[in-house]
A and B are shown apart, each in its own frame.
Chain A
Amino acid sequence: DTGVSQDPRHKITKRGQNVTFRCDPISEHNRLYWYRQTLGQGPEFLTYFQNEAQLEKSRLLSDRFSAERPKGSFSTLEIQRTEQGDSAMYLCASSFPPRLAGGYNEQFFGPGTRLTVL
């Protein structure tokens, strides 16, 4: 399978604990995105990397959230001191730069990590 993979698929944690999620993009993709989705809502953008550089962060990404992509390949999203409001599906997506995709960078999404904070 050469799609975007995310690990773990499910995570249950207690309030106050730290959690870390991993995303492995499609190998040729240099762009990587994180989104968060709560029940009944569309995904909300969190942050975006081009290679290892984090180029944009949403205001949704509080100080408790940090994302890295150290070698421009896989990425991690860490949430410190989790709160019940952090319970959501965390989605990762990747894409080519438009110049390699005929001018359009279709985003390919992974299956997501479902976080439940008790």
Chain B
Amino acid sequence: DAKTTQPNSMESNEEEPVHLPCNHSTISGTDYIHWYRQLPSQGPEYVIHGLTSNVNNRMASLAIAEDRKSSTLILHRATLRDAAVYYCILRVSYGGATNKLIFGTGTLLAVQP
């Protein structure tokens, strides 16, 4: 699985947008970009995923660079409940046989009131 690089930590103020970067320079054409987050004392939870086009859902937006070597998770208005470790993960999809997630160390997001 290709490797991702994320900052160890970031800080944000409540109700401000947050841009969490991820570099994945060795991404291949079949790698999907996934984001999960882990709130304190909980298991990880899915945030968003994409392949080439930017994606939006109720939790966040995912902006993917044109060359796909980097992506950015965007939280439009951070809340205190968004304080978590955010993981950027690449995973190959084998026609539906996707399985394990390979987590890195993620970015610890602190949200200040």
Contact = CB atoms under 8 A, between A and B. Distances in A.
Interface stretch (B23-31, B60-68, B100-108): B100-108
Interface in B67-113: 85, 87, 93, 96-106
B103 A31 contact: no
B45 interface: yes
A44 B105 CA distance: 10
Contact of B103 (A42, A56, A108): A42
Interface in B29-56: 32, 41-46, 49
A55 B94 CA distance: 15
Contacts of B41: 111
Interface size bucket, B side? 20 to 34
Contacts, number: 61
A42 B98 CA distance: 19
A56 B106 contact: no
A81 B20 CA distance: 42
A21 interface: no
A41 interface: yes
30 contacts: A4-B43, A31-B99, A35-B103, A40-B105, A42-B85, A42-B87, A43-B44, A43-B101, A43-B103, A44-B103, A45-B100, A48-B100, A56-B99, A58-B100, A91-B44, A93-B44, A98-B98, A99-B96, A103-B93, A103-B96, A104-B32, A106-B46, A106-B49, A107-B101, A109-B43, A109-B44, A109-B45, A110-B43, A111-B42, A111-B43
Interface of B: 32, 41-46, 49, 85, 87, 93, 96-106
Interface of A: 4, 31, 33, 35, 40-45, 48, 55-56, 58, 91, 93, 97-99, 103-112
